Amino acid sequence: EVAFGYKGLKILLYYIAGNLSTFFRIEYTSKVNEKFDCVEADDVESKIREIIPPGFCTNTDDFVSLLEKEVNFKPFGMLLHTYSIHNEEAGEDITYQIYKADMTCPGFREYHERLQTFLMWFIETASFIDVDDERWNYFLVFEKYNKDGATLFATVGYMTVYNYYVYPDKTRPRVSQMLILPPFQGEGHGAQLLETVHRYYMSSPTVLDITAEDPSENYVKLRDFVLVKLCQDLLCFSPVKLMQGFSQEMVTEAQHKLKINKQHTRRVYEILRLRATNMGDAEQSRSYRLDVKRRLIGPYKKKQRELAKMRRCLRPEEMTNQLNQIDLNMQREQLEESFQQLVSDYRRVLERLAQA
């Protein structure tokens, strides 16, 4: 946003990599006052103080002294998964760990207050959650590294999941927030985190399926990759069965073994069938296109039903054949465009899968 009323404004906001202790200070060379055309400068400091929790440092020496205590910081909760990623710049494999935590972990509440502030800096329309609700689960990613003979941890990202009740005795975990911090983006941590969370809930007999709250386009692409990776070895997704079409067997097995709902299973089927289809073969290509378009045409059929109702209510001159024909042509174009975009997205998932 634009901060009014300052010259040479600098907003200094630093986090220590592990426990996220914070340093905050505002610097500027000059600032307007009421004598300047009866206006005041924006209260930038108050706006940021509303977001970051109390207890932050404003003195550089105090903040530097906290760095020495980083060696005492350890991740919260239960270790779920350890993995390594090769870092070209460092020329070595770097170790990462994923933990599951909750508010009963000593010190985690205060840590989470600092952690969630990153949402405000990097995600549009983000908001804080009610941490007093015990249905929340927290999954944290840390980089594990050595410095001067000591083992230290740096915060990489996290995910919050809310466990909704499903009558009579099930729960439906719903991913609410997910953030990988910018220095670590593009390295595969999001996929590692989402797959780890899925595997955690897969082992629970009380979980019905796993969903997401208002997923972004990037999250949907990430989920496609992770779910296809999990499903590709199921017998119901063998090439022979894929070519026979989408089946109830796929829905049942994906939900029972992997906690994937019907809608997401259908996308997995379409991606894996694309891999099994020779798109250079006219008959196979046509069969695949029609299969996907039968699903995509659902909203258009609904619109046709609405048009049919309008025809019964409006006078003939208000609903001409020409208008209907234009509408149908537009729908065909939109349907083909949707199909081509979907295939393009699916191909990217398959390319990533081939490199995994």
**Domains located in the chain, CATH noted:** 6-68 (3.90.360.10), 74-275 (3.40.630.30)
In this predicted structure, the answer to whether residue 82 has a pLDDT above a threshold of 90 is yes
Asked if residue 211 lies in contact with residue 171, where contact means CB atoms within 8 angstroms, the answer is no
Nearest CA to 95 among 103, 104, 85? 85
Question: Which residue reads 């009014």 in tokens?
Answer: 4
On the CB side of 124, CA atoms within 13 Å amount to 4
Average pLDDT for residues 32-60, to the nearest whole number? 87
pTM for the whole thing?
0.89
User: Which has the minimum average pLDDT: 198-202, 221-225, 316-320?
Assistant: 316-320
Question: What is the rounded CA–CA span in Å between residue 62 and residue 68?
Answer: 11
Query: Could you confirm whether 143 is annotated as catalytic?
Result: no
Q: What percent of the chain has pLDDT over 70?
A: 91
**Per-residue pLDDT at 326:** 47
Q: Which of 40, 92, 134, 213 does the annotation list as catalytic?
A: 213
In this predicted structure, the answer to whether residue 322 has a pLDDT above a threshold of 50 is no
H helix or E strand, kind and range, residue 230: helix 217-231
Q: What percent of the chain has pLDDT over 90?
A: 79
Tell me which DSSP letter residue 316 carries.
Answer: G
Residues in CB range of 65: below 8 A, 6 or more apart: none
Average pLDDT for residues 64-85, to the nearest whole number? 95
Q: For 122-133, what is each residue's pLDDT tens digit? A: 998 889 999 999
Q: How far is CA 270 from CA 35, 101, 106, 295, in A?
A: 66, 35, 45, 10
**Per-residue pLDDT at 125:** 83
- Dihedral angle over CA of 30, 34, 37, 39, nearest 10: 90
H helix or E strand, kind and range, residue 212: strand 211-212
Q: What is the mean pLDDT of the chain?
A: 91
Q: For 252-309, what is each residue's pLDDT tens digit? A: 999 999 999 999 999 999 999 999 999 999 999 999 999 999 999 876 666 566 656 6
**Per-residue pLDDT at 33:** 76
